[in-house]
């Protein structure tokens, strides 16, 4: 059966942790821990279809059939807020490569402005996981996927914590092949481009700025 797009987690741990993340009183240290934990749970859901190769493994008693990941994975955090999603996922996928894309949203136009990009010359992986907690207008996610596709990435997935309907629709329209994984879909965007009810500014809340 085809996966729904977006895939919105129904896992009780995700829903519990997301509630703590939203809470205004949650301080940056706890906020960072929650982003990390939710990211690991989303990673579990987003990696269910990774290809495996069958291999033999010698146990202390006999030879057993085992499996190893066939595909190389790239983690692509969108700076800054996506940074907090890297470490937990990297623990689950220690062989992954990490590439950074720096995008900041112009406060007036809400358009993403690129200020940093660190990718190898040629793509070295089969699957890219784009990481950004907030999918608001979708401009940043679309720009990041554009960069990755132009560079040659084939399979791209987007992992975020909260999505607004506007951003989900825009990303799906621009890149229908990109599967989206979220912890929640919220109501709407306000005039300032913030997701409502959301959790505020995910970058500022992680890094103690703003
Ligand atoms: C925020 C957020 C996303 C982006 C989402 O980043 O972290 O990257 O906006 O908005 P969009 O879907 O409308 O593009 P911001 O520009 O505030 O930068 P920061 O992560 O450095 O705080």
Residue 2 lies in a domain: no
Rounded Cα distance between 55 and 4, Å, is 31
pLDDT < 50 stretches in the chain: none
Please give the pLDDT value at position 107. 87
Residue 97 lies in a domain: yes
Residue 78 lies in a domain: yes
CATH number of the domain that 107 lies in? 3.40.50.2020
C-alpha 50: how far from its chain's center? 16
Domain that holds residue 121: 7-207
Residue with CA closest to ligand 1 atom 2: 134
Residue 21 lies in a domain: yes
Q: Which residues, 6+ apart, have CB-to-CB distance to 81 below 8 Å? A: 132, 133, 134, 201, 202, 203, 206
Catalytic residue (one of 22, 105, 117, 155): 105
Rounded Cα distance between 182 and 134, Å, is 9
Which tokens go with 138? 């979708």
Instruction: Tally the domains of the chain.
Output: 1
Please give the pLDDT value at position 125. 87
Residue 1 lies in a domain: no
Answer yes or no: is the C-beta of 81 below 6 A from any ligand 1 atom: yes
**Residue 124 annotated in active site:** no
Residue 128 lies in a domain: yes
Please give the pLDDT value at position 124. 87
Residues in the chain: 210
**Residue 186 annotated in active site:** no
C-alpha 137: how far from its chain's center? 16
> What is the whole-number distance in angstroms between the Cα of residue 140 and the centre of ligand 1?
7
- Do 186 and 197 touch, CB atoms closer than 8 A? yes
pTM of the model: 0.96
**Residue 122 annotated in active site:** no
Please give the pLDDT value at position 36. 98
């Amino acid at each position: 059966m085809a996966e729904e797009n977006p895939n919105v987690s129904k896992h009780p741990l995700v829903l519990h942790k997301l509630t703590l993340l939203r809470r205004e009183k949650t301080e940056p240290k706890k906020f960072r821990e929650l982003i990390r934990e939710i990211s690991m749970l989303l990673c579990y859901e987003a990696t269910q279809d990774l290809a495996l190769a069958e291999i033999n493994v010698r146990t202390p008693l006999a030879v057993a059939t085992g499996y190893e990941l066939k595909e190389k994975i790239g983690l692509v955090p969108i700076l800054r807020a996506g940074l907090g999603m890297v470490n937990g996922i990297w623990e689950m996928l220690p062989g992954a490569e990490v590439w950074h894309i720096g995008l900041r949203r112009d406060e007036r136009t809400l358009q993403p402005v690129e200020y940093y990009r660190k990718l190898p010359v040629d793509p070295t992986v089969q699957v890219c996981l784009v990481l950004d907690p907030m999918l608001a207008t979708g401009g940043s996610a679309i720009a990041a996927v554009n960069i990755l596709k132009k560079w040659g990435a084939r399979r791209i997935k987007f992992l975020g914590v909260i999505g607004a309907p506007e951003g989900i629709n825009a990303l799906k329209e621009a890149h229908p092949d990109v599967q989206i994984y979220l912890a929640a879909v919220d109501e709407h965007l306000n005039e300032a481009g913030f997701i409502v009810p959301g959790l505020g500014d995910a970058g500022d809340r992680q890094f103690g700025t703003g």
